[in-house]
Structure 1
């Protein structure tokens, strides 16, 4: 016996730690040769920021002849009236922001809400009518913290209020000026309006009836309607929200019609201003169910027909419509697309 203390045994690593270290080394060894070959993460948000500008370029190229003719008409117009039309167009975004704020109880950030309406206008002209603006505003409300069900209900309430406001203005103007539109002159001789109206009603009501027979769809619709009615009652219980909702709903189509009236005055359209407003409201109601991007093509045709029915010469009516669409659609489209990309990048939508 030497008297020395026995040496402590060398600490052995745990079995789990050995396996984990071995797996880590193996993964590093396998990944090192491929590290330079693996693709980087796709910048989805950056691509989404550029997508609106690409779509604007595509739409502009497809409608380059219309753009050239519209800008040519703007060169011969009276600029004070064109500035009035541009001012009315800018106020439509304010009216839309007021209406959308009135559709929810929560206070939405006003600056971002207004910027969203400007961006939604560009999105609305790049996707089928109403879909682009609805998607942008739905995303904005959910980012602001509203549940998806309530955001959808607020969106439906806005669309309902805007439709009611547009139809109410058209009905009031038609009652005041029953001879504003001479649609009989546009129909073929002997054509009957009754069967045409019945066909339109059947085209609208038949799909709704089929969907009502499907149980799962019917259950979802009933649940959504309960949420929507509850949201509508809450909004109308507060006076400021109800005023914003219905004030914006009536101001929005009125300002759009005022823009067309101003362009008509700028180009010397020999039609009374209120008759021009009737023509605009009637044309936009007629094309509401046509799923074209922003109504491009269908709105122009309907507006020309409506202005001719109101008594305007076809050549001047065409010039007025093209100039009006340049001011309200094409000029704001590029800055609107840039705003949309910025809102996506800043995660506002």
Structure 2
């Protein structure tokens, strides 16, 4: 590189990776979205747009035919001249490499709009309005291929063009829409399509070939440093541009022998803006740093923070220059860092690190990204570098975040025990405990996560070690994001509930008209019977957990369980909620899972036993063909089950999961079943609780049937409830919505109950046992979450 008559060698790659051109990616995405909008508008709302355009044209179309013809002709000449003007501009500026992209953009855009079902179509010059000026030039306005070609060429050339010519060319191209309206025409849909296609083609080509921002203005950087008294003799690339700046070492003649040059391009600006927007959308306002209006302000902030920290004697380097360069680049030059990074030193340097960080915090300054490479030791003092995320006048949250980051960084380097002990000995147990709630994954910045391959394990280890050394059994995690994981899960469940409830909602008018004839005393009896299921299930689970949780809270959890089970297929959410509740009650993960599995196993045994007993009591005269599947279906289900078992046995990962995860839980369940055989009291509670669930559901359905006139016995209803509920439990819909209703109605019909009684009875039963508890369960679930019970 030659600058002002001097040759300055440059070593290393200056090119930025393609995947990091954030601004070019954004341009492609916006162009694709615009094309989708144009296509959707042409297919769906084109008649409405035509009517609107005609109305606007009548308002603004004040020209007579001769004036319209003249304007149309002049604008046609302008459109015809645009690509040639672009070509001349590129040749004058000697952009020879761009000519290939310029030509490719035009050819691709024209070809894309020339493809038809029969092959390529040649341009057809015509006008659909007979009183328009019928000339060759004016017809360029109506051909989408010409519009697409110009849009693609301007898009490809824009990054290399000066601002004023670029704006004038876009103005001339985009003026075709108001020109059509002024001359009393509608805007051709095909011209809008050509504009969208051309922009997308040009954006893709720019992404592939790059932009001028990738041409690093090192000549301007050398001149800026020369004005500061540093004559550059050589540049070497330390780190190519990517998510962060392009970092170079500059060998100079001046007060320093070498400098570090950080250069920020357009892509860093757009990438940083997207990152800030994402953090603003996902994190609370107190967790996000102040927004910078431009790249200049962001770089200037970093330099000013370096000056402030350097005045405290805690900065490893000093700023030299901040300047705006050509093509949107920003330069930040500083001296080379002093000292050695702590990742190259033993753990006895940790007290010095915590002392320096405390000195920063005493001046209400936070660092914001305490990676090991940003912490150095010089003459026994810990110094800091970076400061891109530093804040002056930092809040308590930012100071606590610094402590949490340093705990994680030092844990990853020296181990959790050494790191936490050094922190407690230096800054005190209270400061460590205050910051420990932020030792969570969401509080760690991206730079720190990238510094350690296993950073998640370091977070967990640091958090656990703080609890051990401070004697805290549990450290409450701080919620940094606007929505917690539990809130997102609850929102998804609520949306699922609305979705699955829609078929029932559509039947509400008819159902309400039938309720006028219902016997409300029997309906009240059904509701009371349905509450028996919560008490019975809670008693069974309480006995399975050996009475280690409060029975009252367990009954309340069963109401919330209704919401979780109804909004998930196969009632998986209810099982997960039960396990979570037992874990919060003090049981380990394996023990809690085994307790729930034990309760489910006894429930199945009790259910089958009751089904056999009531089938014997009912006799064999009932026709169960309506609710028992066809043998082919049963064979198919059995074949699927055998296939799943075979797959689990043949696939190594699945086999390992069966051996390491499922087998211990099955062994625990078998041990509990063996223990139940030796404990009659506990065994009786579980059996009675499981029986209460089945019989409570049967009583609720029987009460609903009697509310609409009855016509069948309790034994019959019990058989229908057990068989229909079992078959419907395999349905993939959340809560078995649709399948439960169909199975119960079919079962009652099989025993001779008329449809005018069976249908409203089943709907009332579902209201009492499903829909009313579901809405109460939503608030109950929030109540349990607020009290940290789930």
State the TM bucket, normalised to the shorter chain: 0.7 to 0.9
User: Displacement of 1:150 after TM fit?
Assistant: 1.1
Find the partner of 2:744 among 295, 303, 315.
Answer: 303
Residue number in structure 1 paired with 2:211: none
Residues 72 and 45 of structure 1, relative CA distance in 2, 3 Å threshold: farther
Residues 347 and 277 of structure 1, relative CA distance in 2, 3 Å threshold: same
User: Displacement of 1:193 after TM fit?
Assistant: 4.9
**Alpha-carbon displacement from aligned partner over 1:95-144 (angstroms, at most 9, x marks no partner):** 00011112122432011111001110121111112212101110000011
Contact 1:56–1:334 (Cα < 8 Å) also in 2: no
In the alignment, the residues of structure 2 paired with residue 143 and residue 186 of structure 1 have an alpha-carbon distance, to the nearest angstrom, of 40
Find the partner of 2:391 among 31, 43, 50.
Answer: 31
User: Displacement of 1:53 after TM fit?
Assistant: 5.4
Find the partner of 1:199 among 636, 639, 643.
Answer: 636
In the alignment, the residues of structure 2 paired with residue 288 and residue 294 of structure 1 have an alpha-carbon distance, to the nearest angstrom, of 8
In the alignment, the residues of structure 1 paired with residue 717 and residue 578 of structure 2 have an alpha-carbon distance, to the nearest angstrom, of 30
In the alignment, the residues of structure 1 paired with residue 514 and residue 583 of structure 2 have an alpha-carbon distance, to the nearest angstrom, of 42
Residues 145 and 46 of structure 1, relative CA distance in 2, 3 Å threshold: closer
Structure ID, larger Rg: 2
User: Displacement of 1:63 after TM fit?
Assistant: 3.4
Residue number in structure 2 paired with 1:47: 487
Contact 1:180–1:278 (Cα < 8 Å) also in 2: no
Structure 1 residues without counterparts, runs of 5 or longer: 1-12
Larger mean Cα displacement after TM superposition, 155-164 or 204-213: 204-213
Contact 2:500–2:734 (Cα < 8 Å) also in 1: no
**Alpha-carbon displacement from aligned partner over 1:28-60 (angstroms, at most 9, x marks no partner):** 88324998xx99642427836963656545544
Q: How does 1:57-72 map to 2 (within 5 A)?
A: 57-61=498-502, 63-72=504-513
Structure with greater contact order relative to length (CA < 8 Å, sep ≥ 6): 1
In the alignment, the residues of structure 1 paired with residue 668 and residue 521 of structure 2 have an alpha-carbon distance, to the nearest angstrom, of 47
In the alignment, the residues of structure 1 paired with residue 621 and residue 755 of structure 2 have an alpha-carbon distance, to the nearest angstrom, of 16
- How many residue pairs get aligned? The number is 331
Contact 2:527–2:768 (Cα < 8 Å) also in 1: yes
1:216 equivalenced with 2:653 (yes/no) = no
1:181 equivalenced with 2:618 (yes/no) = no
Looking at secondary structure, tell me which structure has more strand per residue.
2
Residue number in structure 2 paired with 1:127: 568
**Alpha-carbon displacement from aligned partner over 1:292-348 (angstroms, at most 9, x marks no partner):** 211111101111111111111223211111111111111222111100111011100
Residues 208 and 289 of structure 1, relative CA distance in 2, 3 Å threshold: farther
1:240 equivalenced with 2:677 (yes/no) = no
Contact 1:48–1:341 (Cα < 8 Å) also in 2: no
Contact 2:590–2:665 (Cα < 8 Å) also in 1: yes
Q: How does 1:1-349 map to 2 (within 5 A)?
A: 16=352, 20=357, 21=359, 25=365, 27=367, 30-32=390-392, 41-44=481-484, 47=487, 51=491, 56-61=497-502, 63-179=504-620, 181-184=622-625, 193-214=630-651, 215-220=655-660, 221-349=662-790
Residue number in structure 2 paired with 1:7: none
In the alignment, the residues of structure 1 paired with residue 579 and residue 687 of structure 2 have an alpha-carbon distance, to the nearest angstrom, of 20
Residues 240 and 70 of structure 1, relative CA distance in 2, 3 Å threshold: farther
TM-score scaled to structure 2, two decimals? 0.39
Structure 2 residues without counterparts, runs of 5 or longer: 1-312, 315-338, 340-351, 369-386, 399-442, 444-479
User: Displacement of 1:89 after TM fit?
Assistant: 0.6
Contact 2:561–2:574 (Cα < 8 Å) also in 1: yes
Residues 104 and 233 of structure 1, relative CA distance in 2, 3 Å threshold: farther
Partner of 1:292, secondary structure, is: coil
In the alignment, the residues of structure 2 paired with residue 327 and residue 75 of structure 1 have an alpha-carbon distance, to the nearest angstrom, of 17
Larger mean Cα displacement after TM superposition, 335-344 or 216-225: 216-225
Partner of 2:711, secondary structure, is: coil
Residue number in structure 1 paired with 2:80: none
In the alignment, the residues of structure 2 paired with residue 198 and residue 151 of structure 1 have an alpha-carbon distance, to the nearest angstrom, of 35
Contact 1:129–1:294 (Cα < 8 Å) also in 2: yes
Partner of 1:63, secondary structure, is: helix
In the alignment, the residues of structure 2 paired with residue 46 and residue 32 of structure 1 have an alpha-carbon distance, to the nearest angstrom, of 34
